Amino acid sequence: MGEATRTRPSRRARELPPSPIRALAPLAEAAKQRGVRVLHLNIGQPDLPPPPCVLEALAEARRLPLVYAPARGLPETVDAWCAYYRRQGIEIEPAEVLVTSGASEALWLALLATTDPGDEVLVPEPFYAPYQGLLAAAGLRLVPVPPGPSLGPPDPVELRARVTPRTRAILLCSPANPSGAVWDRAALAAAGELARQAGLYLLSDETYREIVFDGPRATSVLELPGLEEHALVIDSLSKRFNVCGLRIGALATRNRAVMAAALELAELRLALPVIDQLAVTGALAAPRPYVDQVVAAYRARRDAVLAALAAVPGVEAHRPGGAFYIVARLPVDDAERFAAWLLAEFEHRGETVMVTPMRSFYATPGAGRDEVRLALVHAPETLARAVEILAAGLAAYPGRNSRTHS
């Protein structure tokens, strides 16, 4: 191998899936340079304020000793996670919880602790786009499973049909980013039954668990009996408490051997920051009234945006049961091209919108080609304007197609 070849990045890095958002970012930047205001419906970052007790805890930040926390997390933060789960009817011990740097690290540790390179992971579509890169970096094969009606949980038969001797896990997200689909107890139980029969792990990303529009929260895999050895919860406080900038999540499982393995892996990164852990400890102890307000805000936004989209010809929006996104099919040739066009060539009264093309939320070739994800992270009047801009864009877009949705 010549020198130039030898100092190329690794194969595993070169094979990471491309990010459509990375391609759109410079277009958004250029639009802003031209004086066009860009409404970012592409980022899953809440605009709501964090719980007051988080800010109160941060006021004490300068008095904290800046020392390594235990790899599992500060004991008071681990205990607070347990108290939080207990209030939701989930009995879990501190030895079964590991504080992580958001859901991303929780999933990463879960993957490394449960799977080996070459293993297969079943992932219902559409999925949180970074799963593709995380699985690729861990040397895993992502096996997509087509969604059920209205982008809901897949038919258990479809899951079962994809199990091979290399399958090690099912990775689901409920309430789902991007679709907002909420797995009900029956859907989770069917996946759990398959996991038990086939000896698989059930990795459940419950980042949005409390952001549901019917009932206080989505069912957790930790509530299902008989899955003690199979179920791992990937959790995060970023969305629930509007604290994306703190990066605090958790991995929770009753499989003590897997937890011990995850903890050994976590020891390699030593510790998480102490300030960020302590900032959320109080909020974990008393979240519900706060989260109620958060859910009410998103419910109103969802209803308003769905109503507005229903009036746009050719647009078919999926009704989310939770989380804070809306996936919509658009009457366009290609959603990536449309999203780029909105930024590069369109404006409506000095504004345009940045949306997330859905292609990277699928592994099945061609799937999601005419879909976009809209994040409901703006005030209602901004969202109303965003839909108006989107409608005007669709009317003007040269790649509009004439397909009418059922």
Which tokens sit at 133? Answer: 């890169």
Rank residues 44 and 314 by Cβ distance to a second copy and give the closer one.
44
In 50-191, the DSSP E strands lie at: 97-100, 120-124, 141-145, 167-173
Minimum distance between the CB of residue 34 and a second copy, rounded to whole angstroms? 21
Looking at this protein, which amino acid is placed at residue 71?
A: A
Nearer Cβ to a second copy (13/161): 13
Tell me how far apart the alpha carbons of residues 214 and 110 are, in angstroms, rounded to a whole number: 29
Ramachandran assignment for 323, one of left (phi > 0), alpha (psi -120 to 50 degrees), beta (any other): left
Q: Least CB distance from residue 145 to a second copy, whole Å?
A: 20
Judge whether 130 and 360 are in contact, CB under 8 Å: no
In whole angstroms, the minimum distance from the beta carbon of 250 to a second copy comes to 15
Cβ proximity to a second copy: between 133 and 156 the closer is 133
CA distances from 354 to 226, 373, 380, 386, 391 (A): 44, 10, 17, 9, 13
What's the CA dihedral at 46, 48, 49, 52 to 10 degrees?
-110
Shortest spacing between CB 89 and a second copy, in angstroms: 24
Nearer to a second copy, 133 or 380 (CB): 133
> CB of 306: closest distance to a second copy in angstroms?
26
Least separation in angstroms between CB 310 and a second copy: 31
Type of residue found at 234: I
C-alpha 388/C-alpha 382 separation (Å) is: 10
Nearer to a second copy by Cβ, of 74 and 384: the residue is: 74
Give whichever of 324 and 397 is closer to a second copy, judged by the CB atom.
324
